[in-house]
Structure 1
Amino acid sequence: MTQAPLFQQITDFANRADPYPLYEELRKNPVLHEEEGGPYVFSSYWDIEALLHDPRISSDAANLAAGDDELSGPEATGLPPSFIRLDPPEHDRLRRIANSSFGPPHRPRRIENMRGELGEIVTGLIDGFGDARQIDLVDQFAYPFPVTVICRLLGVPREDEPRFRAWVDPIVAGLDPDTRTSAESQRTAQEARLQLGMYLNGLVEQRAREPRDDMLSDLVNSHSPDGAMTTMEVLSTAVLLLIAGHETTVNLITNGMLTLLRHPEVLERLCNEPALSVKIVEELLRYEPPVQIVPQRTNITDIEVRGVTIPKGSRLWLVLAAGNRDPERFQDPERFDPDRGDIQHLGFGSGIHSCFGAPLARLETQIALSELARRLENPRLVADPPPYRQNAILRGPRHLEVAFDGLRRAA
Structure 2
Amino acid sequence: MNPNEPNESSRPAFFTKEFTNNPYPVYEKLRKDESFFRVMFPHGEFGWIITRYEDAVQILKDPRFSKDMVRRYGADNQSIFSNNMLFSDPPDHKRLRGLVQKAFTPKLVADMRSHIQDIADELLDNLPSQEKMNLIDDFAFPLPIIVISEILGVPLEDRDKFRIWSNTIIDASIAESAELFEQHAKEFTDYLTAWFAKVRQDPGTDLISQLVIAEESGQQLTEQELLGVVSLLIIAGHETTVNLIGNGILALLEHPEQRELLINQPELIHNAIEEMLRYNGPVEFSTSRWALEDIEFRGQPIAQGDLVIVALDSANRDEQQFKDADIFDITREKSPHLAFGKGIHLCLGAPLARLEGEIAVSTLLNRFPNIQLQADVNELEWRPGMNVRGVKEIPVQLK
Per-residue deviation, 1:93:
1.1
Give the TM-score of the pair, scaled to structure 2: 0.90
Per-residue deviation, 1:58:
0.9
Task: Number of aligned residue pairs: give it.
Answer: 387
Partner residue in 2 for 1:203: 195
Partner residue in 2 for 1:101: 103
Q: Which whole-Å deviations, capped at 9, do the CAs of 1:218-255 have from their partners, x for residues lacking one?
A: 11121344632223212210001001111121111100
Asked if the contact 1:6–1:26 (Cα under 8 Å) also holds between the matched residues in 2, the reply is no
Partner residue in 1 for 2:36: 31
1:57 and 2:62 matched: no
Gap runs ≥5 in structure 1: 406-411
1:163 and 1:248, CA in 2 relative to 1: closer, same or farther beyond 3 A? same
Partner residue in 1 for 2:390: 396
- Which of 325, 338, 342 matches 1:346? 338
Partner residue in 2 for 1:274: 266
Q: How do 1:8-407 residues align onto structure 2 when only pairs under 5 Å count?
A: 9-28=13-32, 29-33=34-38, 38-64=46-72, 75=77, 77-78=79-80, 81-103=83-105, 109-176=107-174, 181-182=175-176, 185-225=177-217, 227-383=219-375, 384-385=377-378, 386-405=380-399
Asked if the contact 2:81–2:231 (Cα under 8 Å) also holds between the matched residues in 1, the reply is no
Please give the alpha-carbon distance, in whole angstroms, between the structure 1 residues aligned to 2:9 and 2:114: 49
Q: Secondary structure at the match of 2:301?
A: strand
Gap runs ≥5 in structure 2: 1-6
1:264 and 1:394, CA in 2 relative to 1: closer, same or farther beyond 3 A? same
Q: Which whole-Å deviations, capped at 9, do the CAs of 1:74-121 have from their partners, x for residues lacking one?
A: 646456522211111111111111212332xxxx53222211111111
Please give the alpha-carbon distance, in whole angstroms, between the structure 2 residues aligned to 1:8 and 1:153: 43
**Greater helix percent: which structure?**
2
Q: Which whole-Å deviations, capped at 9, do the CAs of 1:281-300 have from their partners, x for residues lacking one?
A: 11111111111111421110
Please give the alpha-carbon distance, in whole angstroms, between the structure 2 residues aligned to 1:307 and 1:75: 33
Q: Which whole-Å deviations, capped at 9, do the CAs of 1:170-224 have from their partners, x for residues lacking one?
A: 2222144xxxx22xx1121122122112212222222223221211111112134
In structure 2, give the amino acid aligned to 1:400: I
Point out the more displaced range, 305-314 or 76-85.
76-85
Asked if the contact 1:134–1:401 (Cα under 8 Å) also holds between the matched residues in 2, the reply is yes
Asked if the contact 2:253–2:373 (Cα under 8 Å) also holds between the matched residues in 1, the reply is yes
Indicate the percent of aligned positions where both proteins have the same amino acid.
35
Please give the alpha-carbon distance, in whole angstroms, between the structure 1 residues aligned to 2:334 and 2:112: 29
1:365 and 1:232, CA in 2 relative to 1: closer, same or farther beyond 3 A? same
In structure 2, give the amino acid aligned to 1:140: D
Q: Secondary structure at the match of 1:220?
A: helix
Please give the alpha-carbon distance, in whole angstroms, between the structure 1 residues aligned to 2:10 and 2:243: 24
Asked if the contact 2:171–2:386 (Cα under 8 Å) also holds between the matched residues in 1, the reply is no
